[in-house]
């Protein structure tokens, strides 16, 4: 087993060669390693695709396994400390000192850098200019557009993409071999559907599912994720379209209160299924607009059952339109 180590840590890539499904980025960073010419960088992309892990892998390949202990690398999470003080204190303190050995500069990783206030980002821009001789900066951001233009222009930008199904399969095979579990073919597809390209979510789901069974099935993946399988949501919507609103309501209550399916997952699945239901395009547009409103209301604390029932009722009305 994993000896108490979370799988998202146990299977973190230890070198650039182990980074999954980001070949263009790995190729670019491998070139950086060969030339020893390291620019300031921004790693941008959705959550869970390996941005922070890739920065650590790069540092380990560059400085060796003791890259943190020897003082060559520091990670700061800007979502914890997002004000100007973190730039004045922690960043400057680390960046101004010259490393005793190695290539002559350190690497500072600023995770969740898009959470920095505008004031802090402008202060950071000046720090980048002052200490470029002793430190290189890697900014990790889920939302690239939140990084101010002066910082963007000073960095090489590496855009990470969501992990595709082949990347999920590669990670599943690695975990299956390391943990001695069996993951059925359908479960791999289910993991891809549920994770939406987030490899962290894949690993967490696998570890949770392995607690229940050493054989991971698609049904088990959906259950531990609190995920509404597409076929169930489609059936619920079809019941509403056929005027069987009471049955659709019972199915919804079963999913929410008995099976423990996440209300946000049901809404997301309804959004995906709207495009395939047999109603007029103008009615599809109205339903899509309503789903957006419902999603927002649920996020603000509205009762999920009531909100989702409004969508089902609208489907019933749309099916009767001339």
192 and 309 inside one domain: no
Considering the domain architecture, whether residues 193 and 126 belong to the same structural domain is answered as: no
Tens digit of pLDDT for each residue in 249-265?
A: 999 998 888 877 888 88
Neighbours of 5 (CB within 10 A): 11
Angle CA 211–212–218, to nearest 5:
110
Predicted local distance difference test score (pLDDT) of residue 141: 94
pTM listed for this prediction? 0.77
Question: CA-to-CA distance for 94 and 91, rounded, in angstroms?
Answer: 5
Q: What is the mean pLDDT of the chain?
A: 89
CA-closest candidate to residue 165, choices 186, 182, 143: 186
Could you give the percent of the chain with pLDDT greater than 90?
61
Whether 61 and 155 map to the same domain: the answer is yes
**What would the pLDDT profile of 161-188 be if each residue is shown by its tens digit?**
999 999 999 999 999 999 999 999 999 9
Task: Work out the average pLDDT over 139-168.
Answer: 94
Say yes or no: 96 and 140 in one domain: yes
What pLDDT is recorded for position 223? 81
Domain count, the chain: 3
Q: Same domain for 181 and 64?
A: no
The structure tokens listed for 289 are 């607009």
The confidence band for 80, taking pLDDT boundaries of 50, 70 and 90, is low
pLDDT in tens, 270-292: 998 899 888 889 999 999 999 99
**Same structural domain, 27 and 154:** yes
For residue 104, name the pLDDT band (cuts at 50, 70, 90).
Answer: confident
Q: Is the pLDDT of residue 312 over 60?
A: yes
Cα 264-22-143 angle, rounded to 5 deg: 50
Read off the pLDDT band of 115 (50, 70, 90).
Answer: confident
Cβ-based neighbour number of residue 79 at 10 Å: 11
Q: Give me the domain span that covers residue 113.
A: 22-159
Higher pLDDT, 289 or 317: 289
Average pLDDT of span 96-102 = 74
Per-residue model confidence (pLDDT) at position 132: 87
Furthest CA-CA distance within the chain:
79
* HEC letters along the chain: CCCCCCHHHHCCCCCHHHCCCCHHHHHHHHHHHHHCCCCCEEEECCCCCCHHHHHHHHHHHHHCCCCCCCCCEEEEECCCCCCHHHHHHHHHHHHHCCCCCCCCCEEEEEECHHHCCHHHHHHHHHHHHHCCCCEEEEEEECCHHHCCHHHHCCCEEEECCCCCHHHHHHHHHHHHHHHCCEECHHHHHHHHHHHCCCHHHHHHHHHHHHHHCCEECHHHHHHHHCCCCHHHHHHHHHHHHCCCHHHHHHHHHHHHHHCCCCHHHHHHHHHHHHCCCCCCHHHHHHHHHHHHHHHHHHHCCCCHHHHHHHHHHHHHHHHCCC
Query: Do residues 221 and 292 share a domain?
Result: no
172 and 127 housed in the same domain:
no
Mean pLDDT score, 233-251: 92
Looking at the structure, tell me whether residues 138 and 26 fall in a common domain. Answer: yes
For residue 307, give the CATH number of its domain. 1.20.272.10
- pLDDT tens digits for 2-57? 456 889 999 999 999 999 999 999 999 999 999 888 999 999 999 999 999 999 99
Tell me, what's the pLDDT at 230? 63
Residues 69, 133: one domain?
yes
34 and 136 both lie in a single domain: yes
10 Å Cβ neighbour count for 207?
21
Is pLDDT above 60 for 1?
no
């Amino acid at each position: 087993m994993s000896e108490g180590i979370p799988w998202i840590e146990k299977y973190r890539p230890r070198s650039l060669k182990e980074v999954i499904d980001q070949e263009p980025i790995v190729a670019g960073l491998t070139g950086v390693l060969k030339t020893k010419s390291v620019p300031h960088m921004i790693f941008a992309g959705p959550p869970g695709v390996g941005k922070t892990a890739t920065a650590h892998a790069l540092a380990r390949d560059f400085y060796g396994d003791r890259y943190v202990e020897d003082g060559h690398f520091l990670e700061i999470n800007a979502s914890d400390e997002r004000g100007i003080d973190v730039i004045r204190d922690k960043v400057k303190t680390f960046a101004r000192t010259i490393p005793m050995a190695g290539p002559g500069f350190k690497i500072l990783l600023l995770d969740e850098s898009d959470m920095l206030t505008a004031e802090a980002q402008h202060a950071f821009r000046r720090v980048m200019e002052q200490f470029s001789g002793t430190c290189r900066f890697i900014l990790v951001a889920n939302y690239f557009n939140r990084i101010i233009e002066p910082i963007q222009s000073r960095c090489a930008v590496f855009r990470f993409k969501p992990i595709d199904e082949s990347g999920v399969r590669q990670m599943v095979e690695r975990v299956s071999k390391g943990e001695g579990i069996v993951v059925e073919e359908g479960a791999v597809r289910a993991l891809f559907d549920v994770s939406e390209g987030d490899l962290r979510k894949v690993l967490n789901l696998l570890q949770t599912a392995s607690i229940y069974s050493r054989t991971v099935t698609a049904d088990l993946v959906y259950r531990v994720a609190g995920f509404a399988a597409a076929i169930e949501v489609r059936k619920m919507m079809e019941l509403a379209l056929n005027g069987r609103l009471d049955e659709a309501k019972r199915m919804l209550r079963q999913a929410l209160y008995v099976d423990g399916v996440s209300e946000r997952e049901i809404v997301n699945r309804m959004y995906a299924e709207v495009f395939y239901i047999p109603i007029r395009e103008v009615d599809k547009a109205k339903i899509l607009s309503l789903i957006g409103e419902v999603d927002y209301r649920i996020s603000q604390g509205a009762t999920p059952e009531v909100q989702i029932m409004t969508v089902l009722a609208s489907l019933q009305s749309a099916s009767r339109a001339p």
